Amino acid sequence: MQYIFLLLFSLLFTACTSDGTINPSIPSGLPSTEQTTDIDDLKIAPENTIVGKYRLKRGAYRHGTIYQDIDEGYLVIEELDANNYGYYYVTVIKGLAETHSGIFYEKGGEFVQKIIYNDENSPESKVETIDNIKITQKDETLKIVINSVKEETTIWQKDDGVFEPSEKLKTYLKEAEKEYYDFYKKKCKESKIKCSEHEFTKYE
């Protein structure tokens, strides 16, 4: 009995430090492991996304037999939800600027356009899904081909913050942003159905 008491006493003594606290190197009855995983290791790498700001690398449009290079441009794309991406951009050709805005809708790995427009016979806005666009992504470059009244092909490079747009481009970019907000983002926010899936319409 005396030996058992001495053994228990020695074990208790070695489990304590000089100040009476439990020695962390001695098991306390519950298994434990040291946490060595850094929190950054738990982060999931983001998927490829078209979201971002882009400067025009090169571009041109063709209307019948007329072919014209695009001199300057800037594109902004943001995510509205898992399948809808709002966009607005400006192109400048020979000093003349054009604003563009709309929604890219991802359907089965491909993109189509959603056009929201006002119907004179109805107080409600209408939405149409048009298959007239092809977007190809490679690293931080987007190639966008739009076939409508004219065929427009543009290649966009993600903005690294160094690009300085012209004053004309800045001015029209603000107009394009307002147009996008008024006719697309605001309406999608007010009525979620306008950004839901609609009947697929082939552009003729």
**CATH number of domain containing 163:** 2.40.128.120
Domain presence at residue 56: yes
Residue among 114, 132, 122, 131 at smallest CA distance from 183: 114
Q: Which domain holds residue 103?
A: 52-192
Domain presence at residue 46: no
Domain presence at residue 47: no
Domain presence at residue 170: yes
Structural domains counted in the chain: 1
Domain presence at residue 124: yes
Domain presence at residue 97: yes
Domain presence at residue 133: yes
Structure tokens at 155: 């290649």
In Å, how far are 84, 101, 105, 174 from 50, measured between CA atoms? 11, 15, 11, 21
Q: What is the pLDDT along the chain (204 residues), one digit of tens a residue?
A: 554 444 444 544 444 444 554 444 444 444 443 434 343 333 333 466 899 999 999 999 888 888 899 999 999 999 988 888 999 999 999 889 999 999 999 878 889 988 877 767 766 777 788 888 999 999 899 999 998 777 899 999 999 888 888 888 999 999 999 999 988 887 776 655 556 554 444 433
pTM of the predicted model as reported, rounded to 2 decimal places: 0.69
In Å, how far are 60, 120, 181 from 66, measured between CA atoms? 10, 34, 32
Domain presence at residue 45: no
